[in-house]
Structure 1
């Protein structure tokens, strides 16, 4: 399967899990465990989005996808340090 097909299958699985957990969370009401289950499902969705790059841009180099942060050196030349001046 292609990456797009794998991502789509994973998203469908998370959707199905959310639908399956819905009746349980309604049955148990607003309990700690019920809230945790909802949060866990939402976290799965968020993690999938982060992994697959839909939450931020992903550059493709060769056959692998890399997060743009990987190419960042962490230095912002526009920001000056207190007590120092740009020359």
Structure 2
């Protein structure tokens, strides 16, 4: 059986389409030029939900760019900073 290759464009499209069917603020959602996409196992959904709910507080201690660098580093992902930020 051939290995499936993830298609980030399809995931972005599906996420955008779903978000735009939600409440009014989400209807104007768009992806920034640079983005990162990570999958999350079902067992970690509560942890991710809690993180998102406390994100503003969390980013007072560690800014987004620093956190994203650490996340990429932790998972062995090479980050090209020339293209990572708007």
Same fold flag (TM > 0.5): no
Which is bigger in relative contact order (C-alpha 8 A, separation at least 6)?
Answer: 2
Largest Rg, 1 or 2: 1
Q: TM-score, normalised by structure 2?
A: 0.28
